[in-house]
Chain A
């Protein structure tokens, strides 16, 4: 493990809160076609997962749209950071959305 990876591992992605109004809803609560702004990421039990979501562009302040759910309802495809990504409900629930102002 190189020094850089060690430092990247030590990042605290959950401390980043860029939006004032942290809401109750998460990505998993979005309906089809609905969009939201990411307020913060949670999940103290597995920070590696949160750091990965962060590196995938699910960063506080980013806009996310739920494009469609899979035929069996889970996972779902989201559009974020100008690309499409599939996430399971379990991961999506770590992404807390801002309250619509």
Chain B
């Protein structure tokens, strides 16, 4: 085998016109690619101090010298000898023969200057692609703070390509990078590409580092000190549990005042609408639009707090430690530490969690994690849990600890347990074609989270939630309102049935009872009666297939029609309208428990089904996930109903 990459391995890039030029950012995970991408394009991709935050390709536009160019942020890769799906994406994009993906005209390799020795091995591989390449050195401030140094000009000479240093937040350095990007065809190219032969690469790296007068930074003293506590066998485990515990207490405690405010506002708005808009239109606005949508928006503060805390954990570098501490536990379930992070981010939403599985080298681990992720309690379940816990658990405190917060945490723990056991099961089933793949994880130094990127992540989560509310949730609520209130009943029929047409509540109750939605809910009654669900809950369950939060809006609409003054009170006093239990309350402790359990397990989320299909490449896995989760939901729902009814 030749010791250097053969010259002329491909045609030179940079042939397209300036306006269509494509730059790709490549580099190891956590090297600062995404921060650079955001600085160049003004876009706000999510960054974190955790290897593997960019799980898909991001594209953005920026202008250099008046021409628009495309910049692509590729997932992190340690090598062009790919071992995970993420890394395969990188090699596919860089492959000229792959005509499905546009080959970039020039590459920008981002190298963390504090780990330059390792990063150079990757730089060497990239240079062998013989595309116009520039090297960007990141974390320069950290290098000098830890008493290392580098001569970028000499490094450029030794590598034979342009080298630019970029420190986060320095616009002068970004400008010089922009100037450089104006003409990639003129970039210097190495006369001889670096070696790829394992016996030569180390001495090549040594000689480059020596020419560049590189002094590696000292180990970060602060990180060592913090790790002494956070990775200590006793203190580390306690801190880990404490952090998880505070996460859930914070979601309840910090959010309450904001939720009260929002609730008051929408209550006032709804009252206003029904007072000023007459007839059916007024009811539509106050019930479907304000009641349905407002009933879901109330949960915005909790979702923002959840994302705030998770992005703080990611940006500070604690997430890697959590994965490190949990690796041994995860192995019991046939997974690895990184799968823990995928599952933890599923607490926000299963979709980023499932996409994060791309960093896992093993296909078996990917499938197992994908099957398990939807069982983690996502933020869409939160509104449902909060509503039902409010009905089931008294709002008392044991000292500083809220009992409702404890109940919520218990649900999260059960969800996580179920998720892990599922992962173990799927890992066992799919391990027949077992291939040994390594576990390795970079431990980045602790870094102070950049408030900008943390707040952006919270802001984005709020936007995504509000977009969901204004699209799928709004549409479902409107359709549902129609299904609940149509067909309209004539006065003659009402009188016929013994309903006083002047009694609005009675009319509404009669209309709903005989609506389109009711017939669907009633058709489902035989299947769900064992869990204690009546037709109204069934309607809520069906509507929650669009998005779990819709359940809250649906129940709100149903009871608002019967008692618009106090929906929560109305839920508690809702009674069975027919059957053997007629007149008895619907929301008995047994039914509430069964509902909680049902929502814990069931895969009521089209978006998740879609993403599993995309990430696994077949309909088989989403079908299996939907099926097994529905079976678990029904089975454990029945169990919860029986057990709770027996003890209360």
Q: Is B312 positioned at the interface, with any CB of A under 8 Å from its CB?
A: no
Q: Is the CB of B82 within 8 A of A5?
A: yes
Name the B residues within 8 Å of A55 (CB-CB): 78-79, 81, 121-122
Which segment, of B165-173, B258-266, B325-333, B453-461, faces chain A?
B325-333
Name the B residues within 8 Å of A2 (CB-CB): 80, 91, 94-98, 129
Q: Is the CB of B438 within 8 A of A91?
A: yes
How many chain A residues touch B (CB < 8 A): the figure is 50
Name the A residues within 8 Å of B327 (CB-CB): 70, 74-75, 86, 88
Q: Is the CB of B438 within 8 A of A16?
A: no
Q: Is the CB of B440 within 8 A of A8?
A: no
Q: State the Cβ distance, B69 to closest chain A Cβ, in Å.
A: 23
Report Cα–Cα, A71/B325, bound state, in Å: 6
**A54 with B436: in contact, given A4-B5, A5-B91, A86-B327 (CB under 8 Å)?**
no
**A79 with B219: in contact, given A2-B97, A4-B9 (CB under 8 Å)?**
yes
Interface 1/0 per residue, A17-48 and B, CB below 8 Å: 01000000000000000000000000001101
Which residue of B79, B94, B231, B329 is within 8 Å of A68 (Cβ)?
B231
Q: State the Cβ distance, B525 to closest chain A Cβ, in Å.
A: 49
- Write the chain B residue with the least CB distance to A84: B443
Report Cα–Cα, A62/B233, bound state, in Å: 29
Report Cα–Cα, A82/B217, bound state, in Å: 8
Interface centre among B201, B320, B440 (most CB of A within 10 A): B440
Q: Is A15 positioned at the interface, with any CB of B under 8 Å from its CB?
A: yes
**A71 with B216: in contact, given A4-B129, A83-B115 (CB under 8 Å)?**
no
Which segment, of B192-200, B344-352, B538-546, B588-596, faces chain A?
B192-200
Name the A residues within 8 Å of B566 (CB-CB): none
Per the 8 Å Cβ criterion, residues 38-86 of A in contact with B are 45-46, 48-49, 51-57, 59-62, 67-68, 70-75, 77, 79, 81-86
Q: Is A1 positioned at the interface, with any CB of B under 8 Å from its CB?
A: yes
Interface 1/0 per residue, B600-621 and A, CB below 8 Å: 0000000000000000000000
Q: Is the CB of B118 within 8 A of A82?
A: yes
Name the B residues within 8 Å of A61 (CB-CB): 202
Q: Is the CB of A9 within 8 A of B198?
A: no
Interface centre among A13, A52, A91 (most CB of B within 10 A): A52
Name the A residues within 8 Å of B217 (CB-CB): 82
Q: Is B128 positioned at the interface, with any CB of A under 8 Å from its CB?
A: yes
- Write the chain A residue with the least CB distance to B2: A7
Q: Is A3 positioned at the interface, with any CB of B under 8 Å from its CB?
A: yes
Report Cα–Cα, A36/B284, bound state, in Å: 74
Name the B residues within 8 Å of A48 (CB-CB): 81, 83, 437
Per the 8 Å Cβ criterion, residues 287-335 of B in contact with A are 320, 324-325, 327-329
Name the B residues within 8 Å of A12 (CB-CB): 198
Report Cα–Cα, A52/B84, bound state, in Å: 11
**A9 with B81: in contact, given A68-B227, A70-B231 (CB under 8 Å)?**
yes
Q: State the Cβ distance, A7 to closest chain B Cβ, in Å.
A: 6
Q: Is B149 positioned at the interface, with any CB of A under 8 Å from its CB?
A: no
Q: Is B337 positioned at the interface, with any CB of A under 8 Å from its CB?
A: yes
Which residue of B9, B122, B216, B441 is within 8 Å of A3 (Cβ)?
B9
- Enumerate 23 A-B pairs (CB-CB under 8 Å) in ascending A order: A2-B94, A2-B96, A7-B1, A11-B196, A11-B198, A18-B202, A45-B436, A49-B438, A51-B81, A53-B438, A56-B440, A70-B328, A75-B324, A82-B115, A82-B216, A83-B114, A83-B115, A83-B118, A83-B442, A84-B442, A84-B443, A85-B440, A88-B439
Closest 8 pairs between A and B when the two form their complex, measured CB to CB? A2-B95, A72-B328, A8-B81, A55-B79, A84-B443, A57-B118, A83-B115, A82-B216
Add 19 more A-B contacts to A55-B79, A83-B443 (CB < 8 A): A2-B91, A2-B97, A3-B9, A4-B125, A7-B1, A7-B5, A11-B197, A52-B81, A52-B83, A56-B78, A56-B440, A60-B202, A72-B325, A75-B327, A81-B118, A83-B114, A84-B443, A86-B439, A87-B438
